[in-house]
Amino acid sequence: MIEAYRKLWQDRASVMAIESQEQLDAHIRAELADELTHPRLRRTKAEKLAIALERIAQSDLTEVEKQELRVRYEKLAL
């Protein structure tokens, strides 16, 4: 799943440093919490989840990779 995530976010240098499932989960949680955005510009977790799911759906990943990432994002968004 780490490789699929790297394909999805090729333009992010921090993604290349992910080496474990725990690091991947932490990165997804930070993304969903919009931690890298200025507080006044942050979006809600629901908005960030919708954006991520749309990006996954429109990606060139295999259907299996897409499904795995969707499930992971939805699980971590709870």
Indicate the residue type of 45. Answer: K
**What pLDDT is recorded for position 13?**
85
Is 8:2 a contact under the CB 8 Å cutoff? no
What is the span of the domain harbouring residue 37? 2-77
**What pLDDT is recorded for position 10?**
86
**What pLDDT is recorded for position 19?**
95
Q: How far apart are CA 55 and CA 8, in angstroms?
A: 8
Per-residue pLDDT of the chain (78 residues; tens, 9 = 90+): 999 999 999 888 889 999 999 999 999 999 999 998 999 999 999 999 999 999 999 999 999 999 999 999 999 999
Give me the number of domains the chain comprises. Answer: 1
The token duo for 40 is: 């006044």
**What pLDDT is recorded for position 75?**
97
Altogether, the residues listed in the chain come to a count of 78
**What pLDDT is recorded for position 32?**
97
